């Protein structure tokens, strides 16, 4: 149950693939993040979906408009979800997420330092887990729909290193995943 982008999500048995509230098509699975990777001692998965059936027409960038979905799954998330036959549901490629811990920097500084030290390109950075989000616009930390408290940041995702792995965050945007530690609710949004 590693953190990754793409592939088929691991879900509990009763899971139903999310559909966009606007176009009613099935959403595209983007990523699953092991909560322990972002918050040591935590268990479970954060799974993120976003509508790509009519890019730009459904409000998939907004945490509450219905064009995206995020779920926190527990230890019962062990089976590959049945993938709908219609709509745009999967990325073209699966990418395992490797981690590099760089102390003393915010995300953008750590990303720049990593690219200098490894001599690899910025698009090879898939994002960050834990820490603080590096907002491209204003802080849009969502409040939990259940308890009305600000959610905890879990992951910031970059679009990906090539067209096969890329999520569509408006061309150069970032996605942000959150969860409520108290209620188990989750949310996702993106900015460009």
Residue pLDDT, tens place only, 60-91: 999 999 999 999 999 999 999 999 999 999 99
C-alpha 130/C-alpha 26 separation (Å) is: 28
Residue 56 domain-assigned (yes or no):
yes
- How far, in Å, CA of 114 to CA of 74, rounded? 32
In contact, 134 and 107? CB cutoff 8 Å: yes
| 158 domain-assigned | yes
Residue 192 lies in a domain: no
Of 158, 187, 163, 161, nearest to 175 by C-alpha is: 158
Where do we find the tokens 């995300």? Answer: 107
Structural domain including 101 reads 4-185
User: Does residue 139 fall inside a structural domain?
Assistant: yes
Number of domains in the chain: 1
More confident residue, 57 or 73: 73
Beta partners for 4?
32, 96
- Whether 1 shows a pLDDT value over 70: the answer reads no
Run of H or E including 68: strand 68-73
Kindly state whether residue 191 falls inside one of the protein's structural domains: no
Domain for residue 190, yes or no? no
Among the residue ranges 19-28, 56-65, 161-170, the one predicted with the least confidence is: 161-170
Does the residue 68 lie in any domain?
Answer: yes
Alpha carbon dihedral 161, 156, 177, 155, in 10-degree steps, equals 110
Q: Is residue 30 part of a domain?
A: yes
Element holding 127 (H helix, E strand)? strand 127-129
Confidence band for 122, pLDDT divided at 50, 70 and 90: confident
């Amino acid at each position: 149950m590693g953190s990754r982008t793409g592939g088929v999500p691991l879900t509990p048995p009763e899971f139903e693939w999310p559909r966009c509230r606007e176009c009613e098509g099935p959403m595209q699975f983007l990523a699953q993040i092991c909560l322990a990777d972002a918050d040591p001692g935590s268990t479970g998965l954060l799974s993120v979906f976003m509508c790509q059936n009519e890019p730009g027409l459904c409000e998939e960038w907004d945490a509450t408009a219905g064009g995206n979905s995020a779920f926190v799954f527990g230890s019962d998330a062990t089976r590959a979800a049945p993938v709908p036959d219609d709509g745009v549901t999967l990325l073209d490629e699966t990418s395992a997420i490797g981690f590099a811990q760089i102390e003393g920097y915010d995300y953008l500084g750590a990303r720049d330092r990593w690219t200098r030290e490894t001599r690899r390109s910025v698009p090879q950075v898939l994002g960050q887990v834990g820490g603080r989000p590096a907002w491209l616009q204003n802080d849009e930390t969502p409040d939990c729909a259940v308890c009305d408290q600000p959610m905890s940041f879990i992951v910031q995702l970059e679009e990906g290193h090539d067209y096969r792995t890329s999520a569509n965050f408006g061309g150069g945007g970032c996605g942000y995943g959150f969860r409520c530690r108290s209620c188990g609710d989750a949310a996702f949004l993106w900015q460009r």
